[in-house]
């Protein structure tokens, strides 16, 4: 049982003030500076090796990640604008101090000597990857540069941290709203919206906040195309402050990469990814696009037939006709199906599937102290290993939308898991943060169920730098992409579902009050098998168009991060490039002949902090996930044997082992894209 977490620490506290965050950040910066000096001094009379240099540096790195991620969380979840601002300032301070750690010439000299000592004994693959990663981080910070070039790179690196923090801070501000009349909202369930008076004093209007759940609702359900268009264009034009920030970020990234000797930021970023250089990524796009184009063209013809038009299907009309196709041709009504996905109950059932598949146990924690969560809506679970009953960590689930909260779905590592200096596992603390509309009752649409299932995950490694989803960028999403498959299998759908009328007497009365006839039988507790099969059968619906939309986003990512010259990125018309690719790649129409509308690229964090120069990974990892599913789980989705083996070989390692080799070892062969192409409705012919 060596190394297992046996003593269960209390959950962390979140009753923190802006001043507390400021003090914590300054204390951590001082710790980084103090321990760096101590590490260098301790090696003065020693031969640099893994134990004297790399392990202490890993200890500093573990401590930083174990503290800064807690500070960073508040930028995404706090209801206090002051705390969110303090979190942004704290991230800025600590990230700059962390960067300075890997710009220390004396420390770099020690790491360089360790790496150059071929006779040095490396204990395992994770140690070797750690040494390699640390060395690379010094090079990334310009330690091979001199004079003005190094000074320029240092300035750019610090400026990029500031810009990233400002960009993310903007995403936490009010997203704005539109006002529409009841007639303009035909088809929309109006109980999801509030009424009020607009800026011009007009009453009896409905307020449409430009949040993800409400925007999706309008685009999917509203029968008035002009309303859909207004909501789509307004949503695509949010966060204007981020437009200039975005431009400066991509220009500075390109400049820094050229200083380091790379032809572009993408070439620099992809040097350590699975797929390889930008040329390989372009080949991947072309292969996908060639395979998908005939399928997408056929799908558009069917949508035009449904819409009774020969005109292009517009970007803001696609979701509406996709929804109609689901209802009229596939007998799938997502509003009806959502009745079997009451939010809290669905999450409990998700965790039950995790328990069976991966040998875990989740226990709801009764939070007696409000300080152990950051909002009353947040639920807390403890996670345990079923086999050896050891404590793994805490899982926070925060799914409902609210003012100031991060506007997408994400999994935030609050405290990473790693092996501490005493050889004990530090338990992981992670948060699932989503933006589900908090209606009454709170019901999830199937797409939201997929998103939540996607974001749940865990990993374990010796060093915090490899924890969980800290794998190479074009592997990070593979485990989550795989988990989405369980949301389409009829057997698993039945395990996930519970009609909301069974959750409580209050919900039963709500359901009863909506029935138009008396003596109506209560629906079955679990979703009807036929309805589950109908839903599962829609997985391929319009996948040509939907996948090409992801190709468009990915090609934009490469275009801004792999320009032919620095001048090209300086003069690039970013909005036009984004919108042209979106329209041209998908075959869906925009608002006019010009592509100068909206700034969708500046309304998401993907290109700034998360998948910069790696957005293609969402598509690439789908091919890996489809292969794993088809090979190991398709015949028996609830196989505990397969689940435990997958956890052992893939999940437990995070980024601590070679990801390509891990997949090949698990599959017993090199992964191929054929399973994915079959999955979206394309044969294996090349």
Pair (228, 354) in one structural domain: no
Q: Tell which wins on pLDDT, 388 or 542.
A: 542
Q: Which of 404, 438, 320 is nearest to 81 (CA)?
A: 404
Pair (98, 227) in one structural domain: no
Whether 505 is in a domain gets the answer yes
Q: Tell which wins on pLDDT, 8 or 477.
A: 8
Query: 166-216 pLDDT, tens per residue?
Result: 999 999 888 899 999 999 999 999 988 999 887 877 888 999 999 988 999
Using CA of residue 102, residue 105, residue 111, residue 117, what is the dihedral sign? positive
pLDDT band, very low/low/confident/very high, at 2 (cuts 50, 70, 90): very low
Separation between Cα atoms, residue 656 and residue 470, nearest integer Å:
9
Distance between terminal CA atoms of the chain?
51
Most confident of 325-329, 474-478, 559-563, 629-633: 559-563
pLDDT computed for residue 654 by the predictor: 57
Which stretch of 164-173, 256-265, 382-391, 596-605 has the lowest confidence by average pLDDT?
Answer: 382-391
Whether 300 is in a domain gets the answer no
pLDDT band, very low/low/confident/very high, at 653 (cuts 50, 70, 90): low
Cis check: omega of the bond before 189, within 30 degrees of 0: no
CB of 235 closer than 8 Å to CB of 604: no
Separation between Cα atoms, residue 36 and residue 38, nearest integer Å:
5
Pair (521, 415) in one structural domain: yes
pLDDT band, very low/low/confident/very high, at 655 (cuts 50, 70, 90): low
Q: Where are the alpha helices (DSSP H) in 102-187?
A: 105-116, 125-140, 147-171
What are the contacts of 20-25 at 24+ separation with CB within 8 A? 21/71, 21/74, 21/83, 21/86, 21/87, 21/89, 21/90, 22/86, 22/89, 22/90, 24/67, 24/71, 24/90, 25/71, 25/89, 25/90, 25/93, 25/94
Query: 281-316 pLDDT, tens per residue?
Result: 999 999 999 999 999 999 999 999 999 999 999 999
Separation between Cα atoms, residue 272 and residue 194, nearest integer Å:
49
Residue 462 has pLDDT above 50, yes or no: no
Pair (378, 524) in one structural domain: yes
Query: 12-54 pLDDT, tens per residue?
Result: 999 999 999 999 999 999 999 999 999 999 998 888 999 999 9
CATH number (domain holding residue 370): 3.40.390.10
The strand pairing partners of 412, in sequence order, are 431
Q: Which of 307, 299, 319 is nearest to 212 (CA)?
A: 319
Whether 135 is in a domain gets the answer yes
* Tokens standing for residue 545: 């168009």
Pair (98, 79) in one structural domain: yes
Pair (194, 94) in one structural domain: no
Query: 141-157 pLDDT, tens per residue?
Result: 999 999 999 999 999 99
Name residues whose C-beta falls within 8 Å of residue 456's C-beta, 6 or more positions apart in sequence: 350, 351, 354, 395, 411, 432, 483
Residue 213: C-alpha distances to residues 178, 216, 381 (Å): 14, 5, 25
Pair (22, 153) in one structural domain: yes
Q: Which of 89, 98, 42, 36 is nearest to 66 (CA)?
A: 98
Whether 23 is in a domain gets the answer yes
Of 481, 505, 537, the last residue of a domain is 537
Q: Tell which wins on pLDDT, 469 or 605.
A: 605
- Residue whose entry in the numeric block shows the structure tokens 């915090």: 464
pLDDT computed for residue 6 by the predictor: 55
Average the pLDDT over 358-363 and give the result.
90
pLDDT computed for residue 338 by the predictor: 95
Q: Which of 423, 345, 425, 343 is nearest to 383 (CA)?
A: 425
Pair (102, 182) in one structural domain: no
Residue 116: C-alpha distances to residues 107, 128, 530, 654 (Å): 14, 13, 64, 27
pLDDT computed for residue 47 by the predictor: 86
Pair (374, 446) in one structural domain: yes
Average the pLDDT over 93-115 and give the result.
95
Separation between Cα atoms, residue 303 and residue 119, nearest integer Å:
65
Pair (404, 515) in one structural domain: yes
pLDDT band, very low/low/confident/very high, at 461 (cuts 50, 70, 90): very low
Which stretch of 368-372, 400-404, 507-511, 587-591 has the lowest confidence by average pLDDT?
Answer: 368-372
Residue 431 is part of which domain span? 337-537
Pairing of strands 428-436, 391-400: parallel
Q: Which of 177, 55, 50, 161 is nearest to 98 (CA)?
A: 161
Per the structure, the count of domains in the chain is: 3
Pairing of strands 360-364, 425-426: unpaired
Separation between Cα atoms, residue 333 and residue 253, nearest integer Å:
45
pLDDT computed for residue 540 by the predictor: 93
Q: Give the number of other CB atoms < 10 A from CB of residue 1.
A: 7
Whether 218 is in a domain gets the answer yes
* Tokens standing for residue 494: 């039945």
Which stretch of 361-370, 394-403, 469-478, 527-536 has the lowest confidence by average pLDDT?
Answer: 469-478
Q: ∠607-608-613 over CA atoms, to 5°?
A: 45
Secondary structure E strands in 182-253: 194-196, 205-209
Residue 476 has pLDDT above 80, yes or no: no
Most confident of 271-275, 366-370, 384-388, 486-490: 486-490
Of 510, 537, 564, the last residue of a domain is 537
CATH number (domain holding residue 119): 1.20.1050.40
Burial 339-360 (b: 16+ CB within 10 A, else e): bbbbbebbbbbbbebbbebbbb
Give the DSSP H/E element, type plus range, for residue 294: helix 278-307
Angle between helices 318-328 and 278-307 in degrees, nearest 10:
60
- The upper half-sphere exposure of residue 668, i.e. CA atoms within 13 Å in the direction of its Cβ, equals 3
Pair (208, 223) in one structural domain: yes
Whether 678 is in a domain gets the answer no
Q: What is the rounded (10 degree) CA torsion for 516, 518, 523, 528?
A: -70
pLDDT computed for residue 1 by the predictor: 38
Of 537, 557, 590, the last residue of a domain is 537
Average the pLDDT over 441-462 and give the result.
75
**Model pTM?**
0.88
Query: 46-91 pLDDT, tens per residue?
Result: 889 999 999 999 999 989 988 999 999 999 999 999 999 999 999 9
pLDDT band, very low/low/confident/very high, at 459 (cuts 50, 70, 90): very low
Q: Give the number of other CB atoms < 10 A from CB of residue 2.
A: 5
pLDDT band, very low/low/confident/very high, at 469 (cuts 50, 70, 90): very low
Whether 657 is in a domain gets the answer no
Residue 387: C-alpha distances to residues 70, 113, 354, 384 (Å): 29, 42, 14, 9
Separation between Cα atoms, residue 495 and residue 79, nearest integer Å:
34
* Tokens standing for residue 568: 């090209």
Whether 324 is in a domain gets the answer no
Mean pLDDT of the chain: 90
CB of 206 closer than 8 Å to CB of 567: no
Pair (499, 402) in one structural domain: yes
pLDDT computed for residue 460 by the predictor: 43
- Say whether 595 sits in a helix, a strand or coil: coil
- Residue whose entry in the numeric block shows the structure tokens 């036929």: 530
Q: Which of 387, 64, 336 is nearest to 189 (CA)?
A: 336
pLDDT computed for residue 427 by the predictor: 84
Burial of 560 (0-12, 13-18, 19+ CB in 10 A): buried
């Amino acid at each position: 049982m060596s190394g297992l977490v046996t003593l269960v620490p209390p959950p962390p506290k979140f009753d923190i003030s802006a001043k507390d965050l400021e003090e914590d950040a300054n204390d951590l910066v001082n710790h980084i500076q103090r321990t760096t000096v101590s590490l260098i001094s301790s090696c003065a009379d020693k031969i640099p090796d893994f134990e004297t240099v790399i392990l202490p540096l890993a200890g500093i790195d573990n401590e930083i990640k174990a503290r800064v991620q807690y500070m960073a969380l508040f930028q995404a979840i706090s209801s206090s604008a002051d705390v969110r601002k303090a979190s942004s300032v704290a991230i800025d301070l600590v990230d700059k101090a962390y960067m300075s750690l890997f710009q220390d010439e004396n420390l770099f000299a020690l790491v360089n000597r360790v790496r150059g000592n071929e006779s040095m004994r490396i204990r395992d693959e994770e140690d070797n990857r750690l040494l390699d990663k640390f060395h690379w981080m010094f090079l990334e910070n310009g330690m091979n540069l001199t004079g003005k070039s190094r000074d320029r790179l240092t300035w750019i690196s610090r400026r990029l941290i500031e810009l990233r923090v400002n960009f993310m801070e903007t995403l936490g501000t009010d997203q704005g709203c539109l006002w529409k009349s009841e007639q303009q909202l035909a088809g929309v369930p109006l109980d999801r919206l509030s009424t009020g008076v607009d800026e011009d004093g007009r009453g009896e209007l409905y307020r449409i906040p430009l949040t993800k759940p409400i925007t999706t609702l309008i685009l999917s359900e509203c029968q008035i195309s002009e309303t859909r268009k207004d909501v789509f264009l307004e949503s695509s034009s949010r966060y204007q402050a981020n437009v200039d920030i975005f431009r400066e970020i991509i220009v500075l990234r390109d400049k820094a990469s050229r200083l380091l000797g790379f032809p572009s930021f993408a070439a620099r970023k992809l040097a350590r990814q699975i797929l390889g250089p930008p040329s390989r990524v372009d080949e991947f796009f072309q292969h996908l696009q060639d395979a998908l184009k005939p399928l997408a063209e056929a799908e558009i013809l069917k949508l035009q037939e449904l819409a009774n038009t020969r005109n292009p299907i517009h970007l803001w009309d696609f979701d509406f006709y996709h929804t109609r196709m689901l209802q009229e041709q596939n007998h799938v009504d997502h509003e009806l199906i959502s009745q079997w996905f009451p939010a809290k109950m669905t999450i409990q059932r998700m965790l039950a599937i995790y328990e069976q598949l991966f040998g875990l146990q989740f226990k709801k924690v009764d939070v007696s102290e409000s300080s152990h969560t950051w909002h009353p809506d947040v639920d807390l679970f403890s996670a345990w290993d079923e086999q050896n009953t050891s404590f793994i960590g805490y899982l926070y689930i925060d799914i409902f939308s609210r003012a100031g909260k991060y506007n997408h779905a994400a999994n935030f590592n609050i405290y990473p898991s790693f092996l501490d200096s005493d050889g004990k596992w530090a338990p992981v603390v992670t948060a699932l943060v989503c933006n589900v509309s908090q209606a009454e009752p709170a019901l999830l649409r199937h797409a939201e169920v997929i998103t939540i299932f996607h974001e749940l995950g865990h990993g374990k490694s010796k060093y915090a730098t490899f924890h969980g989803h800290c794998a190479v960028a074009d592997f990070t999403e593979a485990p989550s992409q795989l988990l989405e498959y369980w949301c389409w299998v009829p057997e698993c759908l039945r395990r996930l579902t519970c009609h909301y009328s069974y959750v409580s007497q209050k919900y039963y009365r709500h359901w009863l009050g909506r029935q138009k006839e008396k003596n109506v039988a209560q629906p079955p507790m679990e979703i009807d098998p036929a309805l589950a099969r109908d839903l599962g059968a829609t997985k391929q619906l319009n996948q040509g168009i939907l996948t090409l939309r992801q190709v468009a986003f990915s090609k934009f990512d490469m275009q801004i991060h792999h320009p032919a010259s620095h001048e090209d990125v300086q003069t690039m018309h970013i909005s036009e490039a984004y919108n042209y690719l979106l329209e041209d790649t998908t075959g869906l129409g925009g608002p006019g002949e010009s592509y100068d509308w909206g700034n969708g690229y500046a309304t998401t964090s993907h290109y700034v902090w998360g998948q910069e120069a790696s957005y293609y990974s969402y598509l690439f990892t789908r091919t890996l996930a489809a292969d794993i599913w088809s090979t190991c789980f398709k015949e028996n989705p609830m196989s505990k044997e397969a689940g435990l083996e997958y956890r052992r070989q893939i999940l437990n390692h995070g980024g601590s082992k070679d990801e390509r080799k891990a997949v090949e070892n698990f599959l017993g062969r090199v992964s191929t894209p054929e399973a994915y192409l079959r999955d979206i409705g394309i044969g294996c012919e090349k």
